[in-house]
Chain A
Amino acid sequence: MTAVSVPSYFVWLIFILPYVGTLAAPLTGKGKVRDIAAVFFPFLSAIFALYLLIPVLQGDTISLFNSIIPTSVPWIPELGINFGVLSDPYTVIIANLVAWISLLVMVYSVDYMKGDSGLTRYWFFMSFFIGSMQLIVLSDNLLGLFIGWEGVGLCSYALIGYYYHDEKENWVGTPGSKALGEEQAYPPSHAGMKAFFMTRVGDLAMLAGMLILFVFSGTFSYHALATSTAWATSLAAAGLLVPVALLIFGGAIGKSAQFPLQEWLPDAMAGPAPVSALIHAATMVNAGVVLVARIGPIFYFAMAANPALIQPFFMVVAWIGAFTAFLAATQAMVGFELKKLLAYSTVSQIGYMMLALGLAGLSTNFAEGLSAGLFQLISHAIFKAALFLMAGVLIHLTGTKYINEMGGLKDKLKITFAVFLIAAAALSGIPPLSGFWSKDAILATAWGSGQYGLFLVGSATAGLTAFYAFRMFGLVFYGLREKPDHEAPGHGLKEPSPLSWVPYSVLGAGTVVIGILGFFNLGGFLQASSVTYIYSLFTGALFGGLSPASQFNFVSSLVTLGFVVIGLLVSIQLYVRRKVSPSSIVKDSGFVHGLYTFLENRWYVNAVYYKVFVNAPLRASYWTFDNFEIGVLEKVNNGVRALALWFSAGGNWFDRNVVDEAADGGARVGQALSRTFRRLQTGILEQYALVLAIGLIILLLLFLLLSGVYVAI
C-alpha cells in the first residue's frame, strides 16, 4: 500500500464542473450545443473521479497536495469553520458511482427528453443536482454536506414537478382513488411540494442536531469531531449525545425516505423517468446513507466511553431500516404502476442499507456493517437505475404506466427483456448477481452479531423482494397484451434508440460484473476500503476492533436463499407461467382482499399524514388569523367598550357636575374627527392603538408582578 499524491483541485473539480455545467445550460441557446454541454461537464467530472478511483482499486491511499485550490480553505473564520474535501477510498468509490451513473443518465436523457420545451430547465437542474450530490459526498464537514443537501432537495423538488402543467397523464397514482377520504393521486407539482416538505421535516431535525453538535464541539469537520472526544463527554453529561445523534439521523430518514418519512418517494415518481433513475433511485436517496456513514463512526467512537449509549442509537437505525425494508416491500407486492412499484422497492432496498449501518454499531467490527451498506448502495444504485431507465422506455413505448396493461413484450424487446431479467434477478438477490452478495453481506453481519430478530425481518423481506421483482417482470414481459394498438403514433413496439438502451445495458453489465467480482472477494475489498476510511477519519488506529476480514455465513445465506426461492416460485407460478389467476385469489378470499386494499393504500399512513399534517395546520392558520389577528381585536374592543360604559355609568354624575360646557365643545370636535377616521376602516385604527397600549400595560403589569418591586414597595 503506497500513498499516491494527487493535486487537491482534482477533487474540487469533481463537484465544481457540474456546477459550471449548470451555468452552461441557459447560456448555450436551445440547440445541440446545449445538449452536448449538458453531457460534457458531467463527463469531465467523471474523468477526474476515475483518476482518483484507479489508485483506490490498486489498494493505494491518496494523499492530496495543495495545488491551485488547497485541500481545505478557511470559510467562516469567526466560527472556526473550514471547508475541505475528502479523498479516502470510501468517498472515492461513492463519488465514482454518482459520477458515472449521472453520466449515463445524462446520455439517456438526450434521447428521452428530446424536443421537450423545458429542456434548458431540465439540464440546469440535473447539472445542479450532480454538483450538489458530489458536494455531499466530497465535503469534509457537516456544513458543506448540508449545503449540498439543500441543493439536491431543491433540484428534486423542481424535477419532480418538471411536468408542471399537471396534465393527467403525468399524475402519479390513479386519479379518483381515495383512502380515508383523502385523494391518493397527485399532480407533479403537488408531488414536488410534498417531497420538499416531507424531507424538510428531516432536514430540520438534522439542522437542529448539527447546531447542537456545533455548539458543544465548535466544529463541523468530521476529522475534528472524530479526533476529539471532549464534546462527546459534555454532550453525554447533558444527556444529549443520543438525542443529537438521532436528530441528525432524522435528516437521513427524510432524504432516504425511511419510515416514518417514506411517503414522499412513491409520489416523487411524477417526474421524468431519468430523474427517478438518477435522483430517486441511484443517488440522492442514498445521501442519507452517506450521512450515516459519516456520523456513524464518529458517534460510535464518541459513545465508546459510555457503551450503554451505543445500543439505543444503532438499534434505532437498524430497526428503522429493517422495518422500512419490510413495509415498503409489502407495498411493492400490490398495485400496477410500474414506477411507483420501483419506488417502493427503492425505499425497501435503502432500508437494507440503513439496517447495515445500524448493524455496524451493534457488531464488534464496525467496518463490516459499513462496508455491507456500501456494497448494497453500489449494487442497488446500478440495478435500480437500470430498472428505472427501462421503465421510462417501457412507459414511453406502450403508452401506459400500468404493468397489467403491458404484458407480452418478451419477444418484441429482446435487449430490454434481457437487461430487465438481470436487474430483477439482482434485485431479488439471486446468486451470483450483485444484489445477492450485498444482501448476503448485510444478513451475515446481522447473524454474526447475534441480531436474529433483525436477521429474520431482513431475510423474510428478501423473499417478498423476489416475489415482487418477478411479479413486475412477469406482468411486463409475459402473457398477452390486452390493448395491442394504442401505442403513440410513430413508435412501434421495437427496441428504442441506442442512446436509450446502451445506458441501461451498461448498467446491466455492471450488475453482472459486480456479481462476478463477488466471487473474487469484492466484499473484502470494500471492507478494507471502509477500514482505511475510518482510519483516515480518526488518524490511525484510534478506532479499535476493525478488521478487513469479512465473514461468509453459510447458515444465513441458506436461510435467505430459502425465502428467495419461495418468493420466486410463487411469483413465477402466478405471473410468468400464469398457472393461477392472482385476481381470482384476491376476489375469492375476504382476508386477501382486505390485505390487498390495506397494502395498496400504503398501510393508510399517507392518508393519515394528509389528515393530520396538511389539512389540520391549514385550518389552524386560518383559525389563528381569523380569531387572533382579527377576532380577538373585535372582542377586546367590545370588552373595552363595555368596560368603558360600566365606568361611565359610575362616573356619570362626575361627568354631569364637573365637566363644563367647554369640554363638551372639545368632545364634539373629537367625535367628529373620530367619525372621520373610523369611516376609514371600521375603527381599526383605535384597535391598533389599543393593542399597542395593552401590550405596554401587560409589560408593565408583568414587571410589577414578576420583578419583585411590588413586594419591595
Chain B
Amino acid sequence: MDYILAAVVVLGAAALGAPVLQTAERRFRIGAYASMAALALAIVMVAANTVNGGISTVPYFGNLLVSDPLGDIFALVVLSVTLAVAVASFYSSPNGPNIPSYYSLLVFSALGMVLLSYSADLLMLFVAWELMSLPTYVLAGFDKKRVQSNEAAAKYAILGALSSAIILYAISLTYGVTGTTQISGVVARLALEPFNPLVSVAILLFVVGFGFKMSIVPFHMWVPDAYEGSPPAIATLFATATKKAGFVAAIRVVLVIATVYALAPNSVFTLANVLAVLAVITMTLGNVAALTQKSMTRLLAYSSIAQAGYILVGFSIFAYSQQTGAFAYNGLLGLTGSIFHVVNHAIMKGAAFLAAMVVLTQLKRGDLGAYNGLAKRMPITAFTLAVSFLALAGVPPLNGFWSKLLLFVSVINTPLAWVAVAAILNSAFSLGYYFWVIKRMYLDPGESTERVKEPLWSVVLFAVLVGLMIGIGLFPQQFISLASSAASSVIP
C-alpha cells in the first residue's frame, strides 16, 4: 500500500508542478517530461504493489483506500493509457499556449482515476470521481478555437455534472440509511437490512450515475459527440480510461452491495435482470448504430458503447450468483471475464483510437472515405487498426476472443442464457462494420497510393499494442489469473 501512496504523491507533485516548472523558455518542455516521468513512475509503483504482496483487503489511510488486485488492475490500465495519451499528445501537438496545463490536467485526471480504483469509502470515491472528471471537461474543450471542441466540452460538462449530482444523491441516500460512507460498513449494515426501497433507489441511482461514464444506453448520448469533438488524444482517454473508471466504481459500489442486498424482494426486478437488460440494449444499439456511421470517431464511439454492453454481461451474472447463491462459479467467471475485457478493451480501443488519431493528423480527414486504400499509404497504421478491429470483433486467437469467451461461457446454462444469445448474435453482427473498414483499407482503391509519413512515436506505440493483442491472445493465462484474483477480491 505504501507504493500506492507513493504513486499518489508522485502524481500529485507532477500535476501541481507541471505548470509551475514551465518557464517562458518553451524549448525545454519540462512540464510534459515531468508528467510522463511521473506517470511511468506511478506505473512502476503500482506494479511493485501488485508484485510485492502489498495486497491486503484491510482498508487503511483513514479507511479511505484499500489495496487489492482489483484496484491494481484498473490503476495499471488507466495509468498506462494516460501515459500513452501523454506520449501521443506530446508528439502530435507539441506547441500551444496552454500546454503545461494540459499535462497537469491529464495527470490530475489520472490521479483521480487511481484514487477511484482504490476507493473504499463513498466520499473518497466521489472526490476521486470529481478529480477525474473536472480536468476532462477542460481537456475536451482544449482546442478552444474549434467550435466542435467547445461544444463537446459543454455537453460533456453539463451531462457530467448531472451524473455527478445523481451519484451524490445516491451516496446521501445510502448514508441516510446506513449511517456510514465506509463501503465495508455499508455492506455490513445492509446485510442486516431486509429490504428498504430507499437503498434500492440509491443502487439504481448509482447504476445511472456510473452508467453515464460507462456509456450504458440510454445514458450514452454524449459519447459520440464528445469523442468526435474532443482533441483525438483526449477521445482516446475517454474511451479507454475514464470509461474504465466507471466500471471500477460500479464494481466497488454496486456489485459489492449486491453481494448482500437484493434490489427487490421478488425475483423480477433484480439487479441481475436490470444489468442484463441494459447490457443487451447497450450492445445492440451500439452495434446497430455503428454500422451506418460515416466518421471513424463516431464509429469507434458506438463500438465502444457496444463493448460496454459485453462487460455488463459479467456484472449481471455476478449479481445473479451473489443474490441467489446459485451459479457461484459462473458469477466469478463472469466478473473475471468483465475485468479481463476491460483490460483488453483498453488495449484494443486504445490502438484503434490512436490509429484513427494518426490518420486524422496526417491526412486531415476523419471520415471513412479517408480509410480507402490506407494499407498502401500507411501500412503500419492500417495493420494496427485491422488487428484491433479483429480483436474487438472477437476473432481468435486475439485477446478479445478470450474475454468474450469467458463472458459468454459464464452465462450459458444459467437463467441469463438469453443474454449470451444476444451477445453472440451481436458479436457476429459487429463484424459487419469492423470488416467494412478493413475492406476499405486493404481492398478499396484510395485517392492516392503515395506513402504518408507515420510518426515514429506512433509506430512504437502500435508495435507495443499489437504485440499485446497478439501476445495476450496466444498466452492469456497470466492475465486471466490476475483478473480472476481481482474478481474474487470483490466478495467481502
Are A193 and B439 neighbours in the complex by a CB distance under 8 Å?
A: yes
Q: Which residues of B contact A700 (CB under 8 A)?
A: 201, 204
From 144 to 167 in chain B, residues with beta carbon under 8 angstroms from any chain A beta carbon are 147, 150-151, 154-155, 158-159, 162-163, 166
Chain A, 672-684, contact with B by CB distance < 8 Å: what is the 0/1 string? 0000010011001
Q: Which of B58-66, B106-114, B119-127, B258-266 contacts A (4 or more CB under 8 A)?
A: B258-266
Question: Looking at chain B's contact residues, is the secondary structure mostly helix, strand, loop, or mixed?
Answer: helix
From 239 to 266 in chain B, residues with beta carbon under 8 angstroms from any chain A beta carbon are 263-266
Q: Which residues of B contact A702 (CB under 8 A)?
A: 269, 274
A688 with B269, Cβ < 8 A, contacts A76-B477, A192-B443, A216-B413 known: no
Are A692 and B395 neighbours in the complex by a CB distance under 8 Å?
A: no
Q: Give Cα A186 to B159, complex, Å.
A: 48
From 191 to 240 in chain B, residues with beta carbon under 8 angstroms from any chain A beta carbon are 197, 200-201, 204-205, 207-208, 212, 217-219, 221-222, 225
B439 to chain A, nearest CB (A): 6
Are B208 and A77 neighbours in the complex by a CB distance under 8 Å?
A: no
Is A208 an interface position by the 8 A CB rule? yes
Q: Give Cα A78 to B480, complex, Å.
A: 7
Q: Which residues of B contact A684 (CB under 8 A)?
A: 225
Is A624 an interface position by the 8 A CB rule? yes
From 179 to 230 in chain A, residues with beta carbon under 8 angstroms from any chain B beta carbon are 189, 192-193, 196-197, 200-201, 203-204, 207-208, 211-212, 214-216
Are A706 and B268 neighbours in the complex by a CB distance under 8 Å?
A: yes
Q: Give Cα A254 to B405, complex, Å.
A: 21
Are B269 and A76 neighbours in the complex by a CB distance under 8 Å?
A: no
**Which residue, B155, B159, B221, B424, has most C-beta atoms of chain A within 10 A?**
B221
Q: Give Cα A706 to B207, complex, Å.
A: 17
Are A625 and B288 neighbours in the complex by a CB distance under 8 Å?
A: yes
Residue of A whose beta carbon sits closest to that of B262: A707
Q: Classify chain A: how many residues form its interface, as a range.
A: 35 or more
Is B285 an interface position by the 8 A CB rule? yes
A703 with B292, Cβ < 8 A, contacts A189-B439, A708-B266 known: no
Q: Give Cα A146 to B402, complex, Å.
A: 13
Q: Give Cα A618 to B432, complex, Å.
A: 10
Q: Which residues of B contact A670 (CB under 8 A)?
A: none
Q: Give Cα A466 to B172, complex, Å.
A: 82
A270 to chain B, nearest CB (A): 12
Is B445 an interface position by the 8 A CB rule? yes
Q: Which residues of B contact A652 (CB under 8 A)?
A: none
B319 to chain A, nearest CB (A): 15
Is A643 an interface position by the 8 A CB rule? no
Are B409 and A685 neighbours in the complex by a CB distance under 8 Å?
A: no
Partner of A212, one of B158, B205, B396, B413: B413
Q: Which residues of B contact A196 (CB under 8 A)?
A: 435
A225 to chain B, nearest CB (A): 16
Is A605 an interface position by the 8 A CB rule? no
Residue of A whose beta carbon sits closest to that of B151: A680
Q: Give Cα A89 to B263, complex, Å.
A: 58
Q: Give Cα A703 to B196, complex, Å.
A: 12
Q: Give Cα A136 to B155, complex, Å.
A: 51
Residue of A whose beta carbon sits closest to that of B473: A147
Is A709 an interface position by the 8 A CB rule? yes
Is A521 an interface position by the 8 A CB rule? no
Q: Which residues of B contact A707 (CB under 8 A)?
A: 197, 200, 263-266, 268-269
Are A691 and B288 neighbours in the complex by a CB distance under 8 Å?
A: no
Residue of A whose beta carbon sits closest to that of B397: A147
Is A36 an interface position by the 8 A CB rule? no
Are B412 and A688 neighbours in the complex by a CB distance under 8 Å?
A: no
B244 to chain A, nearest CB (A): 20
A516 to chain B, nearest CB (A): 43
A629 with B159, Cβ < 8 A, contacts A192-B443, A699-B274, A703-B263 known: no
Chain A, 284-320, contact with B by CB distance < 8 Å: what is the 0/1 string? 0000000000000000000000000000000000000
A695 with B208, Cβ < 8 A, contacts A700-B201, A706-B268 known: yes
B151 to chain A, nearest CB (A): 5
Q: Give Cα A706 to B266, complex, Å.
A: 8
Residue of B whose beta carbon sits closest to that of A216: B413
Are B269 and A703 neighbours in the complex by a CB distance under 8 Å?
A: yes
A118 to chain B, nearest CB (A): 11
Is B476 an interface position by the 8 A CB rule? yes
Q: Which residues of A contact B221 (CB under 8 A)?
A: 687-688, 691-692
Q: Give Cα A287 to B45, complex, Å.
A: 49
Are A622 and B292 neighbours in the complex by a CB distance under 8 Å?
A: yes
From 494 to 529 in chain A, residues with beta carbon under 8 angstroms from any chain B beta carbon are none
Using a Cβ cutoff of 8 Å, how many contacts connect chains A and B? Answer: 160
Q: Which residues of B contact A77 (CB under 8 A)?
A: 477, 481
A629 with B289, Cβ < 8 A, contacts A211-B412, A689-B158, A695-B219 known: yes
From 128 to 151 in chain A, residues with beta carbon under 8 angstroms from any chain B beta carbon are 143, 146-147, 150
Is B46 an interface position by the 8 A CB rule? no
Is B143 an interface position by the 8 A CB rule? no
Q: Which residues of B contact A193 (CB under 8 A)?
A: 435, 439
Q: Give Cα A707 to B261, complex, Å.
A: 14
A635 to chain B, nearest CB (A): 15
Are B484 and A78 neighbours in the complex by a CB distance under 8 Å?
A: yes
A347 to chain B, nearest CB (A): 23
What total of chain B residues lie within 8 Å of the partner, measured CB to CB?
Answer: 67
B271 to chain A, nearest CB (A): 11
A204 with B425, Cβ < 8 A, contacts A625-B288, A691-B218, A695-B219 known: yes
Are B395 and A154 neighbours in the complex by a CB distance under 8 Å?
A: yes
Is A483 an interface position by the 8 A CB rule? no
Is A640 an interface position by the 8 A CB rule? no
Chain B, 404-418, contact with A by CB distance < 8 Å: what is the 0/1 string? 011011001100000
B391 to chain A, nearest CB (A): 12
Is B490 an interface position by the 8 A CB rule? no
Q: Which residues of A contact B208 (CB under 8 A)?
A: 692, 695-696, 699
Is A628 an interface position by the 8 A CB rule? yes
Is A563 an interface position by the 8 A CB rule? no
From 154 to 188 in chain A, residues with beta carbon under 8 angstroms from any chain B beta carbon are 154, 158, 161, 164-165
Are B443 and A625 neighbours in the complex by a CB distance under 8 Å?
A: no
Is B322 an interface position by the 8 A CB rule? no
Is A658 an interface position by the 8 A CB rule? no
Residue of B whose beta carbon sits closest to that of A690: B221
Is B344 an interface position by the 8 A CB rule? no
Are A703 and B264 neighbours in the complex by a CB distance under 8 Å?
A: yes
Are B158 and A146 neighbours in the complex by a CB distance under 8 Å?
A: no
Is A79 an interface position by the 8 A CB rule? yes
Q: Give Cα A694 to B212, complex, Å.
A: 13
Partner of A703, one of B150, B204, B444: B204
A625 with B265, Cβ < 8 A, contacts A76-B477, A692-B219, A699-B274 known: no
**Which residue, A197, A700, A703, A712, has most C-beta atoms of chain B within 10 A?**
A703
Q: Give Cα A705 to B266, complex, Å.
A: 12
A688 with B159, Cβ < 8 A, contacts A680-B151, A703-B200, A706-B269 known: yes
Is B431 an interface position by the 8 A CB rule? yes
Q: Give Cα A624 to B147, complex, Å.
A: 28
17 additional contacts, CB 8 Å, given A684-B225, A692-B219, A695-B218?
A74-B477, A77-B477, A143-B396, A164-B444, A192-B443, A193-B439, A204-B428, A208-B420, A211-B408, A216-B413, A625-B291, A629-B289, A677-B154, A691-B221, A692-B208, A702-B274, A709-B200
A sample of 29 cross-chain residue pairs with beta-carbon separation below 8 angstroms, ordered by A number, consists of A78-B481, A146-B396, A147-B396, A161-B443, A164-B443, A189-B444, A196-B435, A197-B435, A200-B428, A203-B428, A204-B424, A207-B424, A211-B409, A211-B424, A215-B412, A215-B413, A625-B288, A677-B158, A680-B151, A681-B225, A685-B159, A688-B155, A694-B218, A696-B204, A699-B204, A699-B207, A700-B201, A706-B264, A708-B264
Top 6 A-B pairs, shortest CB-CB distance: A707-B264, A706-B269, A695-B218, A688-B221, A164-B443, A189-B443
Q: A residues engaging B (CB < 8 A)?
A: 74-79, 143, 146-147, 150, 154, 158, 161, 164-165, 189, 192-193, 196-197, 200-201, 203-204, 207-208, 211-212, 214-216, 618, 620-622, 624-625, 628-629, 677, 680-681, 684-685, 687-689, 691-692, 694-696, 699-700, 702-703, 705-709, 712-713
